[in-house]
Structure 1
Amino acid sequence: MAENHRRTVRDLRRGNRAAVLRRLYFQGPMSRQALGPVTGLSSGSISNVVTELAAEGLVEEAGLVESDGGRPRTLLRVAPRAGYLIGIDIGETRVRAELFDLAMTELARCELPLSGGARDIDTVVAHTARSVAAVLEESGVAVEALTGIGVGVPGIVERAPGGAVVHGQTVGWDAVPLEELLRGATGLPPATAFHISNGTVALGQAEMWYGGGRGTTDAAIVLFGSGVGACIVTDGQIHGIDHGTPAEFGHLTVQVRGRTCRCGSRGCLEAYTGAQAILRRWHEAGGPGPEEATEEHGISRLVAAARPADEGTEADPTALAILDDTAEYLAAGLSDLVNLFQPQRILIGGWAGLQLGPLLLDTIRERTRGYALHHPGRHTEITLSTLGPDAITQGAATLPLNHLLHHTTTARPPASAERLPR
């Protein structure tokens, strides 16, 4: 039997609301008159949708603009305090949570270290629950005012009837029912929406919305931290954004029968360019042991050894050689992205990428072009992420925001649900 694909009145209403809301969010403030041409809706539809959204507190007036010979027109925008977002980055060395309003203004943050790493799922869940409670307490925002909670994780996310399940092979997570565990630990109302995705995918959405990916339709956002990952964007669509599946870029084979990777395979890109692997190679070449400090501190020491702040101190040749090899492997990996996807832009992010980037970027660009096919290589720009090391947290917060902008039917309670001090 043929399926009935006719859109219902409810579908049309939801689509009209989403079209207006997205335009106001990304291009606002805008007048009702300006919304018509960019959404394709009639003036009557625009008026109905705006009236409805304003009554729910999602849209508010944002001043006046002069019109050609007529009365000034009222500008509209998405109301920043119509809802609140929590973004959580479950990294391999810490859990970081930030609370934002809808304009992505940070209102509170909490960061808790994972001394034993992300393998201890009980500690990860407990830290996440503590961080959610902390940012709600610091901000004074009521639980009922949350639009949703976004969580970036180190692994592949599978949708299941009981909630998101995470497969994080490199951190020892085998089908962890993370959403179920987080709901139990946080004790939040059942209606609270959790949106769980891979951290690299979350980073990619943040960069495309607010950072270095703006203005492109084809991009690759590469994360270098303890591990390595990539978010691929083609024709403006972020691969994996709906189901949390990243491009497992770090597990491309760059050396047959090479170093053993944390995933258990051999020769993976991550086994040469992840922060943990870089520090291990430095130690094997005579540098300090990777266990002597945090990974962030270890990479900082490596950069300082290769580029001493004191002009009278010579650069450590071993540190320089380690970084040169790292740039070589990175370039080989990036050339695969160039050849496979032909992106307009590659953005290098993650805390390790941003530490190493200023030192290695020119070398990486040159060598990537050398490995890549000439035509796509010439047309791919390689640069650094612009949102900083906290970008995964911001990207995680965009997950519930994205759902609001595309699927909203009613708003969360407006500002009266807050407990913000006057």
Structure 2
Amino acid sequence: MKRTYQDIRRANRFAVMRHVIASAPVARRDVATAVGLSVATTADIVSELLELRLVAEIGQQASGGGRPRNLLAPNPDGPRFIGVDIAETYVHVELFDPALRALARAEEDLHPRDNPPGYVLERILSGVATVTAEAGVPLDGLLGIGVSIPGQVRPDGRASVFASNWTWRDVPLRDLLAERIPIPVHLDNPLRASTVAELWFGAARGRENVAVLTMGTGVGAGLAVGGTIYHGATNTAGEWGHTNLVIDGRLCRRGCVGCVEAYVGAPGIMRQLEEVAPGSPLLHPDDQTATINALAAALAEGDPDAERAITATARYLGIALANLINLFNPQVVVLTGWVADRLGAQLVERARPTLAAHALGEAWAGAEIALCPLDRNPVSLGAATVVMEGFLSEVAANGRS
């Protein structure tokens, strides 16, 4: 793909801001060396970031006989922005500063089954009101709000949500929010929000071609090409969870036959446990979280039923990962989500032999499998980071230099 001047400028801004966040306090010259830009280009971008109040000068560093170097850090008094993680049973809201540190958090419960758009909208607004009041930030003083919603989001911002207990179709959630919130609204799904968080702060930092696999009730992939999120023609790229794994196999929640989600999502793992150990006390038929937690604890104790269930699940995961690596050729595959948090290490360990047997040698040799290293909610973090990216992109699009 051809990249315009604005594309290059935007990517350079992202790289400089990422390094300042990761390495503060840091001198301009050290930023330039780390991100591979000239000192002059880096100084120009830093000047922009200072003007935008995303970065601040916080002191000086001795330079071995020359003039002291000014040190940079994210501006603690800079603009604030919000990230929202909408899951099937909760709305999690966080307010961040330019270092992407969470200054305030709020969580609103959703109904287990029936969550009409108006109800979810009110829960978002309630969470936003809570965090802005706690942080003492007026709503119109925010840089923007990033919202992650489960399912697919059309390029025009209409949400077509496929959460198993919801029946939304073509809900204009971004427009509904924009009517109530006087700041820019960015809307996407948790796959891409998690991928942004990994690119900026996690196991994908410094990588160009990345797959971030979310493992929970559902399964999906966020993809980055050349360090940029890949959306596909209709913003639906990454439905790895609904690629076929077993012909005439199990049905997933959306009615797909034999797909990855039906075998390595939480309901699929529960089904596997039921098949290898009918009547197992580890199985809690109406509680996915309790079952996955029980499996993790039993696996640590060497329970044979847990071992059989996880080994069988890992075989399916290994084939699914091999397909993804053969097709996409990523540098790193990151597993995230609540199932990956509890069982990811055990699944990956047991999946490696199958993965190695089915992946093409060169593609497999160039791919790292990693677990999400972030100790905070990657979805709300990524959603907030999208706000920062959108702001810096808008600066580039307006021709600021």
Shorter-chain TM-score range: 0.7 to 0.9
**Which residue is 1:292 aligned to?**
286
Task: In structure 2, give the amino acid aligned to 1:127.
Answer: R
Partner of 1:195: 186
- For 1:400, the equivalent position in structure 2 comes to 387
- SS of 2:255's equivalent in the other structure is coil
Which residue is equivalent to 1:413? Answer: none
Calculate the aligned-residue CA RMSD, in Å. Answer: 3.2
Contact 1:99 1:109 in 2 (8 A): yes
Deviations 1:5-29 (A, max 9, x none): 998xxx7xx9879856752542465
Matches within 5 A, 1:51-70: 54=50, 57-67=53-63, 69-70=65-66
Q: Output the CA distance in 2 between the equivalents of 1:357 and 1:277.
A: 15
Which residue of structure 2 lines up, in the alignment, with residue 378 of structure 1?
Answer: 365
CA distance in 1: counterparts of 2:53 and 2:94, whole angstroms: 23
C-alpha contact (below 8 Å) 2:90/2:107 kept by paired residues: yes
Aligned to 1:138: 134
Q: Is the 8 A contact 1:201 1:244 kept in 2?
A: no
Question: Which one of 171, 178, 188 corresponds to residue 176 of structure 1?
Answer: 171
Q: Separation in 2 of the partners of 1:46 and 1:319? A: 56
Contact 2:14/2:389 (8 A) holds in 1: no
Question: For 2:113 and 2:342, how far apart are their aligned partners in 1?
Answer: 21
2:214 match:
223
1:357-391 C-alpha deviation (Å, 9 max, x unpaired): 13222112222112212222233221211114611
8 Å contact kept, 1:202–1:241: no
User: Of 106, 109, 114, which residue of structure 2 is paired with 1:110?
Assistant: 106
The letter of the residue matching 1:323 is I
CA distance in 1, matches of 2:31, 2:271: 56
| Ranges in structure 1 where 5+ consecutive residues have no aligned partner | 309-313, 411-422
Counterpart Cα distance in 2 of 1:204 and 1:55: 28
Question: What does the per-residue CA deviation read over 1:279-311, in whole Å, with 9 as the maximum and x for residues that have no partner?
Answer: 244346324665533x32221022223333xxx
Q: Does 1:92 align with 2:88?
A: yes
Deviations 1:172-217 (A, max 9, x none): 3321211123344xx322xx01111121111011111111112322
**Which runs of structure 2 are paired with 1:7-406 in the superposition (5 Å)?**
19=12, 22-27=15-20, 29-31=25-27, 39-40=37-38, 42=40, 46=43, 54=50, 57-67=53-63, 69-117=65-113, 120-160=116-156, 164-171=157-164, 172-184=167-179, 187-189=180-182, 192-240=183-231, 245-283=236-274, 285-287=278-280, 290-293=284-287, 295-308=288-301, 315=303, 317-388=304-375, 390-406=377-393
Q: Which has the larger radius of gyration?
A: 1
Task: Write out per-residue CA displacement over residues 114-156 of structure 1, whole angstroms, 9 at most, x where no aligned residue.
Answer: 3324754343222222211111122222112211111112112
TM-score normalised by structure 2 residue count: 0.85
Deviates further, 108-117 or 324-333: 108-117
The alignment partner of 1:81 has SS state of coil
SS in 2 for 1:213: coil
Q: Distance in 2 between matches of 1:350 and 1:180?
A: 28
- Note the C-alpha offset of 1:403: 1.4
Higher relative contact order (CA 8 A, sep 6+): 1
In 2, Cα distance between the equivalents of 1:221 and 1:50? Answer: 30
Residues 93 and 282 of structure 1: is their aligned pair in 2 closer, same or farther, counting only changes over 3 Å?
farther
Cα distance change on mapping 1:356 and 1:406 into 2, 3 Å: same
Q: 1:258 to 1:145 in 2, by over 3 A?
A: same
Structure 2: 5+ residue stretches without partners: none
